């Protein structure tokens, strides 16, 4: 638990610092006065001032902010956010999103240069040396067939057998197809744990998408020569962006169609749980997890919703199109505040559901 807590704080810290640093640097380059750079929310644990900016670390590591002059109220100061040219305000607004994507790209570049499995790119298309190919259990659901068979996070799925017919698993797609084709059947699964092979007799559940009740990850480890690693990482980042965009499209569609939040969407509690799973699965899975979270954070913030970076950017783009503000600064600030309240209520709702699912259930 201690390791999970440390990893959880570390992950959030990295993501928050990267995101807020984007806003901070863009504001400084635009000559906008930055009043405060905060990592974490109050109560404040540490605070110091350097020149005109106050730097703080909060006790709640669930977010951060860069407070700029004239961002939350109307100011006539020439260095206020509201007085800056639209293109400068737009750059400041989206800089955090850009930094989260850049962070993911840097992580993936290092990973491929050292030797890493891909997340969204076909391993066969990656120019490099295959070090190994296996399917790893990243997490086990409670009361699942996997838990009843005493499977553990970090186990390697090697093969499955039914009536003497053996199927080897080299990719997660192969295992997904195997489990989907054999729902409700009893199979002999061979797993490797601590370099020892174990045979488990397991009856798949009747649910096609959760036959075993596990989270799995491909571990086709490929080492890419250092000068190609940035290009391969760029392709991987783009592929993850496309998958994430599709996920958010489905997420929004589900909300408007059913009025419910998809079970695949999680809050701080879910991030904590999956951080623990990623830590147990190994350092490479862990850094991939950080890259995925960074891209997800970028997508959430670029959504054109009030209080989010995308919402602020939308107002600025409309201002540029119509050559004037579409609403007064005071009204826009109220809209963003209302959006923030809605977002907080959504986070509370998701957190409540996560507590029921991961802790109480």
* Angle at the Cα of 238 from the Cα atoms of 232 and 241, rounded to 5 degrees: 140
The values of phi and psi at residue 308, to 5°, are -85, 160
Whether the Cβ atoms of residue 49 and residue 13 lie closer than 8 Å to each other:
no
> What is the length of the chain?
361
Give the C-alpha separation, 151 to 167, whole Å: 19
List 20, 134, 236, 332, catalytic entry: 20
Whether the Cβ atoms of residue 101 and residue 19 lie closer than 8 Å to each other:
no
Give the C-alpha separation, 294 to 99, whole Å: 9
**Catalytic (active site) residue 71:** no
Angle between helices 268-281 and 283-302 (to 10 degrees): 150
Tokens of 260: 């419910």
- For residue 300, what are the CA distances in angstroms to 64, 137, 270, 303? 15, 28, 16, 6
Beta strands 156-162 and 186-193, pairing class: antiparallel
Give the C-alpha separation, 63 to 65, whole Å: 7
Tell me the H-state helices in the chain: 2-29, 86-114, 145-148, 172-181, 229-258, 268-281, 283-302, 309-322, 329-354
Beta strands 53-68 and 129-132, pairing class: unpaired
Whether the Cβ atoms of residue 148 and residue 120 lie closer than 8 Å to each other:
no
Enumerate residues 6+ apart whose C-beta is below 8 A from 16.
39, 40, 61, 63, 64
Whether the Cβ atoms of residue 99 and residue 22 lie closer than 8 Å to each other:
yes
Residues taking part in catalysis: 20
């Amino acid at each position: 638990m201690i390791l999970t807590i440390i990893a959880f704080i570390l992950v959030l810290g990295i993501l928050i610092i990267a995101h807020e640093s984007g806003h901070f640097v863009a504001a400084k380059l635009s000559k906008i006065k930055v009043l405060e750079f905060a990592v974490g929310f109050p109560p404040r644990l540490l605070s110091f001032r350097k020149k005109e900016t106050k730097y703080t670390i909060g006790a709640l590591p669930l977010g951060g902010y860069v407070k700029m002059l004239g961002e939350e109220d109307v100011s006539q100061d020439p260095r206020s956010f509201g007085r800056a040219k639209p293109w400068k305000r737009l750059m400041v607004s989206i800089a955090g999103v850009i930094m989260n994507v850049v962070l993911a790209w840097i992580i993936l570049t290092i990973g491929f240069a050292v030797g890493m499995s891909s997340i969204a790119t076909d391993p066969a298309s990656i120019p490099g040396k295959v070090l190994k190919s296996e399917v790893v259990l990243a997490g086990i659901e409670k009361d699942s067939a996997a838990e009843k068979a005493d499977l553990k996070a970090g186990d390697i799925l090697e093969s499955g057998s039914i009536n003497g017919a053996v199927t080897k698993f080299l990719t997660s797609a192969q295992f997904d197809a195997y489990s989907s084709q054999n729902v409700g059947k009893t199979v002999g699964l061979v797993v490797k744990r601590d370099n020892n092979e174990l045979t488990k007799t397991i009856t798949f559940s009747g649910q096609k998408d959760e036959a075993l009740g596990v989270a799995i990850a491909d571990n086709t480890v490929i080492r890419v020569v250092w000068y190609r690693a940035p290009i391969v990482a760029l392709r991987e980042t783009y592929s993850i962006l496309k998958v994430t965009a599709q996920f958010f499209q489905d997420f929004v569609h589900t909300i408007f169609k059913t009025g419910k939040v998809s079970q695949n969407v999680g809050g701080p509690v879910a991030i904590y749980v999956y951080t623990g799973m990623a830590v147990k699965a190994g350092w490479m899975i862990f850094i991939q997890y950080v890259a995925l979270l960074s891209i997800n954070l970028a997508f959430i913030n670029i959504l054109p919703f009030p209080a989010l970076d995308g919402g602020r950017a939308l107002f600025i783009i409309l201002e540029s199109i119509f050559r004037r503000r579409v609403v007064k600064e005071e009204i826009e600030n109220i809209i963003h505040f209302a959006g923030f309240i809605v977002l907080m209520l959504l986070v509370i709702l998701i957190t409540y559901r996560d507590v029921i699912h991961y802790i109480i259930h």
